[in-house]
Amino acid sequence: MKNKLLIVLSIFILVSCNKDDSNTDPDNQLNIVVTSYEPRKAFYGGILTITGENFDRNADNTITINGQEQEIKLVLDNKIEVKIVEGTSSGEIQLSNSGGSSKIGDILVANEIVYTELNTVDYNFGVFKINSGTGKKEDFIFDNFCNVPSYNSYGISYNKQDKEFTGYSDLDVNGQYYYYYHKYSIENSSCESVNVNKGFRSLKHIDDGRLFGVFIDNLVEIDSETGFFNRFVLQDIRIRNIQYDSDNNQFLMYVNETNTSELHTYDLSTEAHTVVDLNGRFIQALKLLPDGRLLATGPRGPYNCRALYELNKETGEASDPLFTMPSEYCPANQNHDMYGMAYLPSINSLLINVKTSNDERKHMVYDLDTNEYEMTNLPSGQVNSTLFVLEDL
């Protein structure tokens, strides 16, 4: 009789345990209720806010994104605030404590490293790492062009093969100009400068490491080791903007002269050169996306307000604006120029340099999925130039 009672009791306990297990959601062991979390696309240093019910403020809570622990700033019964730490990649948000874990949802995180050339003070130039969400400088890579006094910067380029930045500058000494070619290695943290006979602008490295640039009204190839002129590629065209199409090994170039506005394509493999008339359209910036779309900025909205639009590479036709400067900036003599763009593939968004009519500088993040944007004022004196998005460091 005693043995039968033990068997019945064991079966009862087993059934009860199985019943409890079947009611436990393995994805929500903490039995929390999440009503929302924002943003769905985040940047390092930004705040993720989770709202809901049944959060345990007294527990030793941990929030992870794709397995990376985050910095919890606040825990209330109905809200959690988390700072996104550097090194985080897109993935699942999870809350854990001694009671178990619960899945919050998925989030995209901009994990690319973004650099820009900055004009600091007293005509000193350098390459700085910036926060991709705010545009504000975080750390310098090298400044004052390897400690060589410079008056003008001719722009910089990034060589993916050697993982180094290159650029030109000049120095005016009593009317005598001296030109310098600079190289900075990210891997070795080494900087070197050499004196050259001329400077080149609009520099572009292509996939095989070769370097191209513009000298007066000519596209030229440059010896990337020495910084000296190598050969003319195209002559007598006033190039304002160059984009490199790595998939097709081509340059896309915006050319603007008196009464002329054109899109030129130059094939580096076949040397074929084609020209498309843009019907006088003025372009401030171009950006070629990985999917092949070519985006442009310039006067396109009402009252010639600056706008972002897609440019047909074959016909030169412009789409309807994807985005137009809002009414508070245009046309009340406050139109903003959008003079540079970079693309963040991790969140499918553009970074856009903005300049006001009062020469104030702003940093815009434009979401290509939602057509929404955020614009941040840059600190006084900070002027972001060419933006470099590096994914392989």
SS3 sequence of 9-39: HHHHHHHHHHHHHHCCCCCECCCCEEEEEEC
SS3 251: strand
- Residues 73-100 as b or e (16 or more Cβ within 10 Å = b): eebeeeebbbebeeebebeebbbbbeee
Handedness of CA 27, 30, 36, 42 (dihedral sign): negative
The two structure tokens encoding residue 49: 């806010």
Query: Residue 318 has what DSSP assignment?
Result: B
Architecture of the 113-390 domain? 7 Propeller (2.130)
Distance CA 214, CA 205 (A): 12
Q: Are 177 and 196 in contact (CB under 8 A)?
A: no
CA atoms within 13 A on the CB side of 88: 30
What are the sequence ranges of the domains in the chain?
Answer: 23-110, 113-390
Q: Please tell me the predicted confidence (pLDDT) of residue 7.
A: 46
Distance CA 184, CA 169 (A): 14
In this prediction, the residues of the chain whose per-residue pLDDT falls under 70 are 1-24, 119-125, 142-145, 331-334, 391-393
Distance CA 363, CA 112 (A): 16
SS3 132: coil
pTM attached to this predicted model = 0.88
Kindly list the strands in the beta sheet with 273-277, ordered across the sheet, starting from the edge strand earlier in the chain: 239-245, 250-257, 260-267, 273-277
Which pLDDT tens digit goes with each residue over 50-68?
999 999 999 999 999 999 9
Q: Which class in CATH covers the domain with range 23-110?
A: mainly beta
Helices and strands in the chain, H and E counts: 2, 33
